[in-house]
Chain A
Amino acid sequence: MKKLNALIKKFRSIRFVLTVLLLVTLIFTSFSAYYKIKYWGFSFSPKQNTNVWAIEAHVSFIADGSPINVSLAIPSKNKGFKILEENIIANGYKTQKFADKITFKSRNMIGEQDLYYKIMVFDNMQAKDKLKDEAPKNIRRPDWDETTLAQAQQVLSLAQQEEGDDNIEKLIVLFNQEPLNPALKSYLPVQYNQKQKLEIMQQLLSLKDIATRISRGLNLEEGQKITPDLMLEAYVDGAWRIYDPNTGKKGLPDNFLLFQRGGNSLLDVIGGEDSSVRFSIQKSITSTMNLASRRAKLSRKDGLYNLSIYNLPLSSQNSLKWLSVFPIAIFFVVLLRNVVGIRTMGTFTPMLIAMSFVQTGFWAGLVCFSVIVALGLLIRFVMSKLNLLLVPRISAVVIFVILIITGLTFFGHYFNIKIAQASVYFPIIITAWVIERASIIWEEEGARNAWHELSNSLLVGIIVYFVISNEYVRHWTFVFNEINLVILFAVMLLGTYTGYRLVELKRFASLVKGTKK
């Protein structure tokens, strides 16, 4: 009894240690997944592509001969997008880059001038809502007489009746009503532009002690000669918040690249006239994994990245990707054998069948496998009459399998049957052993048992195939490959499972039912 207790204790402690290890690896995996997503830009979804935008700012003006000083606001870092490449084309100009602007200087220019600033950016979703900037110093109030002030208060109270989360949103909604509320008409000229509208809003909000400013940015849609969109920023609860001046919607819209924030203007041209800046945007799609090293560099986390498997040559990465999916396949084999209790031919034969199915595609694999095994069995039956010794016999079966595969591949190409061409991917040794085992079981225990074991192996193979061919499974096991440590301990923990297997419930059911049939 004491011994039994000690045994249980020992047994429990193994289970306990494995459980702890499982949890530790689970935490480690979650942390590393977080790290990889945050700094390397890996994603949970196997949607491997990231949009890369090529944006060209075209500054044009007419130089009047005096010294030229052009200043163009540029998107600084940490504004929802990361800059991949930067390129300036400005012949005869001295350029200088600052954190949020770029300046072009020249002395002796005359006539039409064209300056280009090109960048490639990709979205950096995790930095999207971080819009840190210094707090406003003081709020400039409009210099209005009392009548205008009273009217302003009236407009503000009108805005209160609109829908919206806060005063700013309500005011924006009021300004965007169609037709325009008559109370606003005294503020706005008959023909007004977006900027004028925003400035009025700013003045009205300043009466409520809300600091605001206008920002400019680009809605990233492919196109030419795009003018920047204006956004209203308001300082609320200690942070700058962005409002869409047309809808009142809070926050930065998706695919919106901020170029200029705060009081500075987008473009300042000294020594020229008729200045304008036009943008053109082009989209291209790049694999997320390709961007990972650049992302890592940009976030200064490239030390680990350079040591990771993702820095290996692509061919090695592909092999590792293929390998990384197997632990989960093994896990399922263990589960199906030790918890469900399906008997298969050899422990990992089903896994190898599944591997070939991945290469061939499901239906092609299934058809090919069945044909190869059926033909192989036929030949094996003829051969069993010859009474050969084991090693030469199985060797002969291997050669027959090769011949069958050769034949199928040949016919596949000759008659252009895609399915038959797939046969070349089957592992010959394993297929030969499947045939050998099936025929031995057939001879010794009858066709039913042979068929039973064959179909069981195929069933497990198919289940494993669906696991390892799943896009998400393959993505996760490679991109977050620490998960394989978790699987390792899960498999080891399954090694201490002493409960009934699912098929045993049926097998031993008669023991419970007693004499009932």
Chain B
Amino acid sequence: MFNWIKAIKELPSQLRAKGVLGMNARNYAVISQHNSRRLYPLVDDKVQTKNLALKFGVKTPEMIGVIEHQYQVADIMKIVKGHEEFVVKPAHGSGGKGVMVVKSYHGDNFTLASGRIIGYNELYQHISNILSGLYSLGGQYDSALIEEMVHFSSAFDDYSYHGVPDVRVIVYKGYPIMAMTRLATKESGGRANLHQGAVGVGLDIKTGKTKLAVQHNCPIAFHPDTKADLSKIEVPSWREHLLLAAKAYEMTGLGYFGADIVLDAQKGPMMLELNARPGLAIQIANGEGLKKSIKRVDKSYPSGLSAEERIKYILQ
């Protein structure tokens, strides 16, 4: 009984020693100090992010069109003409909510990535829902973004149960400081949310190789469904991943953000979205606190370098 109390009592100082960043410290000391609020729309609105990315030479899935008003919804077939596949997503969505991936379509039948076939009405309804703000942060009116489908590289095929994993890189003052990939499981319902039972794999920032794999806060060695050896993960084109993430710093001006990157089989790493308020679960997947890395950057990393130079600096 007393051991238990003692353990609880010591926990905060132990966490501090580990450099674990808490939610309050993240909001107060990191985000509000380094992320100016006026920059938020740049990352909260995927259309703006995409346009910026284009300007800064950051690879993203190509935009096919934008639907901003209800009357434009009927134009959807005109917009996707010439594209055999496309993705519809809310411009202000987060965490993959409201994303519809159309693999192919014939007439009124649309085949989704999950294999489900829907009619035109349902597609129309979905876009209308996006516009009415169903998936947007805070429920304000939104626009629907139609973009190219990513042909995911097969590198992660064995590691994920349904869904395709992306790589989340945390960038502080332009330096990638921590990375992980989230693998969907049967339990998580094909979703990449760690608290729903997805596997989080911490990646070594220099190599892109597995550092630690956890599920429900506990280290695991094999994927619970595919039984793949999680310690063998090595993200291909790691340097490009890092470079993409680092470039987003110049692109947005945010001092602290998370970049979600997917790997296209032909085009290589592509930036899917940026998050000005990235979650803290990445620390669990890495078995390490973010504060340590933040302090290291503040202390000794040079400022004023270009993205290329920064990547060179951390890889040396």
Contact segment of B10-18, B39-47, B105-113, B240-248: B10-18
Choose from B14, B133, B189 the contact partner of A446 (Cβ within 8 Å): B189
The answer, yes or no, to whether A185 is at the interface (CB within 8 Å) is no
Tell me the nearest residue of chain B to A445, going by C-beta. Answer: B196
B29 touches A501 (CB 8 A): no
Choose from B12, B128, B284, B287 the contact partner of A500 (Cβ within 8 Å): B12
A449 touches B196 (CB 8 A): yes
In the bound complex, CA of A514 to CA of B134 (Å): 41
In the bound complex, CA of A445 to CA of B217 (Å): 18
B283 touches A508 (CB 8 A): yes
Choose from B14, B29, B214 the contact partner of A512 (Cβ within 8 Å): B14
In the bound complex, CA of A341 to CA of B23 (Å): 9
Residues of B within 8 A of A507 (CB): 217, 284
Tell me the nearest residue of chain B to A503, going by C-beta. Answer: B23
Choose from A4, A390, A446 the contact partner of B129 (Cβ within 8 Å): A390
A445 touches B24 (CB 8 A): no
Residues of A within 8 A of B97 (CB): 444
In the bound complex, CA of A7 to CA of B25 (Å): 13
B287 touches A511 (CB 8 A): yes
- The smallest C-beta distance from A432 to any residue of chain B, in angstroms, reads 13
The answer, yes or no, to whether A338 is at the interface (CB within 8 Å) is yes
The answer, yes or no, to whether B219 is at the interface (CB within 8 Å) is yes
Residues 431-471 (chain A) with a chain B CB within 8 angstroms: 444-446, 449
B132 touches A390 (CB 8 A): yes
Contact-residue size bin, chain B (C-beta under 8 Å from the other chain): 35 or more
Choose from A444, A496, A508, A515 the contact partner of B20 (Cβ within 8 Å): A508
Residues of B within 8 A of A508 (CB): 15, 18, 20, 283-284
In the bound complex, CA of A497 to CA of B122 (Å): 47
The answer, yes or no, to whether B77 is at the interface (CB within 8 Å) is no
Residues 110-137 (chain B) with a chain A CB within 8 angstroms: 122, 125, 128-129, 132-134
A510 touches B214 (CB 8 A): yes
The answer, yes or no, to whether B225 is at the interface (CB within 8 Å) is no
Residues of B within 8 A of A449 (CB): 196
Binary flags per residue of B263-303, CB closer than 8 Å to A gives 1, else 0:
00000000000000000000110011100000000110000
Residues of B within 8 A of A497 (CB): 24, 28
The answer, yes or no, to whether B57 is at the interface (CB within 8 Å) is no
- The smallest C-beta distance from A265 to any residue of chain B, in angstroms, reads 72
Binary flags per residue of B128-154, CB closer than 8 Å to A gives 1, else 0:
110011100001000000000000000
- The smallest C-beta distance from B41 to any residue of chain A, in angstroms, reads 21
A512 touches B11 (CB 8 A): yes
Binary flags per residue of B1-31, CB closer than 8 Å to A gives 1, else 0:
0000000100110110010101111001100
Residues of B within 8 A of A445 (CB): 193, 196
Residues 61-77 (chain B) with a chain A CB within 8 angstroms: none
B133 touches A501 (CB 8 A): no
Residues of A within 8 A of B132 (CB): 389-391
Tell me the nearest residue of chain B to A341, going by C-beta. Answer: B23
The answer, yes or no, to whether A399 is at the interface (CB within 8 Å) is no
Residues 378-404 (chain A) with a chain B CB within 8 angstroms: 387, 389-391
The answer, yes or no, to whether B218 is at the interface (CB within 8 Å) is yes
B289 touches A498 (CB 8 A): no
Known: A389-B132, A511-B287, A512-B11. A500 touches B218 (CB 8 A): no
In the bound complex, CA of A449 to CA of B33 (Å): 32
Residues 314-340 (chain A) with a chain B CB within 8 angstroms: 338
Binary flags per residue of B186-218, CB closer than 8 Å to A gives 1, else 0:
000100010010000000000000000010011
The answer, yes or no, to whether A99 is at the interface (CB within 8 Å) is no
Residues of A within 8 A of B189 (CB): 446
The answer, yes or no, to whether A1 is at the interface (CB within 8 Å) is yes
B11 touches A509 (CB 8 A): yes
In the bound complex, CA of A173 to CA of B25 (Å): 70
Residues of A within 8 A of B12 (CB): 499-500, 505
Residues of B within 8 A of A504 (CB): 15, 20, 22-23
- The smallest C-beta distance from B246 to any residue of chain A, in angstroms, reads 21
- The smallest C-beta distance from B30 to any residue of chain A, in angstroms, reads 10
Tell me the nearest residue of chain A to B298, going by C-beta. Answer: A4
A511 touches B139 (CB 8 A): no
Choose from A446, A498, A512 the contact partner of B25 (Cβ within 8 Å): A498
A517 touches B20 (CB 8 A): no
Residues of B within 8 A of A35 (CB): none
Known: A445-B193, A499-B22. A505 touches B218 (CB 8 A): no
B289 touches A511 (CB 8 A): yes
Choose from B22, B125, B283, B284 the contact partner of A498 (Cβ within 8 Å): B22
Residues of A within 8 A of B14 (CB): 512
B15 touches A512 (CB 8 A): yes
- The smallest C-beta distance from B287 to any residue of chain A, in angstroms, reads 6
Residues of B within 8 A of A498 (CB): 22, 24-25, 28-29
Residues of B within 8 A of A501 (CB): 22-24
In the bound complex, CA of A341 to CA of B287 (Å): 21
In the bound complex, CA of A512 to CA of B196 (Å): 22
A7 touches B22 (CB 8 A): no
B18 touches A512 (CB 8 A): yes
Choose from A4, A390, A499 the contact partner of B24 (Cβ within 8 Å): A499
The answer, yes or no, to whether A16 is at the interface (CB within 8 Å) is no
Residues of A within 8 A of B23 (CB): 341, 501, 504
A505 touches B196 (CB 8 A): no
In the bound complex, CA of A511 to CA of B21 (Å): 12
- The smallest C-beta distance from A479 to any residue of chain B, in angstroms, reads 34
Residues of A within 8 A of B139 (CB): 390
Known: A505-B8, A507-B284. A1 touches B299 (CB 8 A): yes
Residues 1-24 (chain A) with a chain B CB within 8 angstroms: 1, 3-4, 7, 11
Choose from B20, B133, B284 the contact partner of A390 (Cβ within 8 Å): B133
Residues of B within 8 A of A446 (CB): 189, 196
- The smallest C-beta distance from B51 to any residue of chain A, in angstroms, reads 27
In the bound complex, CA of A507 to CA of B200 (Å): 14
In the bound complex, CA of A515 to CA of B212 (Å): 10
| 29 cross-chain CB contacts under 8 A | A7-B33, A11-B29, A338-B24, A387-B122, A389-B129, A390-B134, A446-B189, A446-B196, A496-B28, A497-B28, A498-B22, A500-B15, A500-B22, A500-B24, A500-B25, A501-B24, A504-B20, A505-B8, A505-B12, A508-B15, A508-B18, A509-B11, A509-B217, A510-B217, A510-B287, A511-B284, A511-B288, A512-B11, A512-B15
A-B interface, 6 closest residue pairs, ranked by CB to CB distance from nearest? A498-B25, A500-B22, A390-B132, A510-B217, A512-B14, A389-B132
13 more contacts with CB within 8 A, not counting A390-B133, A499-B25, A509-B11, are: A1-B298, A3-B298, A338-B24, A389-B132, A446-B196, A495-B28, A498-B22, A498-B25, A499-B22, A500-B12, A500-B25, A504-B23, A512-B15
